[in-house]
Structure 1
């Protein structure tokens, strides 16, 4: 299947959703060589990923993931970002997830170590003392007991080990960089997703529409953040009950003051120290953006 897919992509022809699902399944089952995986990723990037292709890849990853049971599936949300905005901010979505869970909304946060920044969600949470090695049953108990669990991608997507080598050797953004936020093993259907471009927001809205999401907000700010910014308006693509609409919001209209210089982060220990200050209620420039 992967050879046929490569031939189509080299001719700039899109894969169907089912073809994409079969290709990803073959990768996760170890049936594709590293050279074939690398060629596929480059060909896709050069052609540009189509919604049907991304939906097919995501469907296969969801099928192979270790499922995490949610005690309240219709209320559970995920707050996540694609990264890749090059801004090296603190872990805003991770802290926001903790605040939301503290307010009583269950959060099954799916994440990984850093890919494009100095510190990913897994890095800062580990520095804060979170155990990343919990299995699916333990994570479900966390959701029930405290209303939040961190779903560490490598632990719950073991079949993705076959793509690690080619991804690392390529060293460029591939479709895998945008699959993480849409392959949550808890099957959440309500998400806030920060993305690194407007085009990606539109693409993922169409993908998640195909995958049956209930309510999704995809955000990208005018100052380039994969977050809702305080310093500039934020572009939003909203998917709700099958319908997609686009609009802009301005956090300054809610009385929040911009702090563009106060949200820059560092390594895991630095970001963990900032996180503690914010969560303990201390004054910090990044508190309002969280």
Structure 2
């Protein structure tokens, strides 16, 4: 117990840990070495580091434990994978934008790894919606790997691949802590290109962490509403988006406005989260059919365009957005969801039911 006490003493006094020290202490904690005191020590360790203000080296040490020690990885060679993840806890509750963006981008040749999670701060998380639409969210790794290779998209629920983290950490520490800055990047399949959405404004700090973790090309984004008061962990068409871009070891921060990429300012009421998972699922289907409202389609295209940009399928974000818009309005992106359902050995009848409802709604309104 001497090591954990020394580390806590150091943190309480405002002293920083090295990356190796952070790794060593956190590894011992998720191994449960301290018996009945383990949760107390783990909470104290994370809270003390957060109170001090964690360094990028300390957080990288924590993530080394998650990704290099705890993870049971799925290894697929010679693929340029892209992730799209969010920190959650938005002050603006929306439809499932990143899920739509992932499906759209995959149809345009981007190999997208979508991490799965049930909703914690909203009605519907990625897992909830995809399951409702017929995807087998408990598919065998071999089936999801096949989908990623052949369909350019794979859905991976994190729990089976991070057993110690789910046993010792997940669900126990809801307060802001050092893992909040980077844990969302944890995935069964490694990727070094990513869209990382934050509900906080710490884009530069998180970008420095990702650089420390050797990400090749990533956008850390915080979207805002028109007044800049409320935020989403996606690129936004409601107002400006703060972006910290990491490319080839360099970081630059800038603001993006919808009109710069050929889009109009969106209406929050058009992209607001619905009251039920079924309504949110139907909204996603309407986007993929190209039959949703303009604000929904454009915010999905903006985030899909960002994936095209970081995958280097397009030379800039505007070109990516334009291509994504054209693809969505063609109605072809729904086929990507169909492929994911079939390859995961899910229930295509569920999706067909929603497609029928969406088509009936479209006929009524036109």
Pair in the same fold by TM > 0.5? yes
Displacement of 1:45 in angstroms is 2.4
Unpaired runs of 5+ residues, structure 2, are 226-230, 301-366
Structure 1 SS opposite 2:194: strand
**Aligned with residue 136 of structure 2, among 109, 131, 135:** 131
- After superposition, give the CA deviation of every residue in 1:17-56 in whole Å (9 maximum; x if it has no partner): 1111112212222224111112122222222222111111
Distance (Å, rounded) in 2 between the aligned partners of 1:122 and 1:230: 25
Are residues 1:29 and 2:31 paired?
A: yes
More helix by share: 2
1:72-151 matches, within 5 Å, as: 72-73=78-79, 75-151=80-156
Structure 2 SS opposite 1:202: helix
Distance (Å, rounded) in 1 between the aligned partners of 2:187 and 2:98: 15
Structure 2 SS opposite 1:261: helix
Are residues 1:277 and 2:277 paired?
A: no
> Which piece of structure 1 moves more, 57-66 or 24-33?
24-33
**Number of residue pairs matched by the alignment:** 286
Structure 1 SS opposite 2:251: strand
Partner of 1:67: 73
Partner of 2:177: 174
> Which piece of structure 1 moves more, 237-246 or 178-187?
178-187
- After superposition, give the CA deviation of every residue in 1:230-287 in whole Å (9 maximum; x if it has no partner): 1211111000010111111111233322222211113422211111111122132412
Q: Is the 8 A contact 1:68 1:185 kept in 2?
A: yes
Q: Is the 8 A contact 1:67 1:136 kept in 2?
A: no
Partner of 1:207: 209
**Aligned with residue 289 of structure 1, among 299, 307, 312:** 299
Displacement of 1:86 in angstroms is 2.2
Distance (Å, rounded) in 2 between the aligned partners of 1:221 and 1:145: 32
Are residues 1:245 and 2:240 paired?
A: no
- After superposition, give the CA deviation of every residue in 1:78-124 in whole Å (9 maximum; x if it has no partner): 11111122211111111100111111111111232223223222222
Displacement of 1:225 in angstroms is 1.8
Unpaired runs of 5+ residues, structure 1, are none
Distance (Å, rounded) in 1 between the aligned partners of 2:55 and 2:167: 23
Distance (Å, rounded) in 1 between the aligned partners of 2:78 and 2:112: 10
Structure 2 SS opposite 1:288: helix
Question: What's the C-alpha RMSD, in Å, of the aligned pairs?
Answer: 1.9
> Which piece of structure 1 moves more, 63-72 or 84-93?
63-72
The 1:246–1:231 alpha-carbon spacing in structure 2 relative to 1, beyond 3 Å, is same
Please give the TM-score of this superposition, normalised by the length of structure 1.
0.91
Distance (Å, rounded) in 2 between the aligned partners of 1:50 and 1:121: 30
**Aligned with residue 195 of structure 1, among 191, 198, 213:** 198
Distance (Å, rounded) in 2 between the aligned partners of 1:51 and 1:178: 10
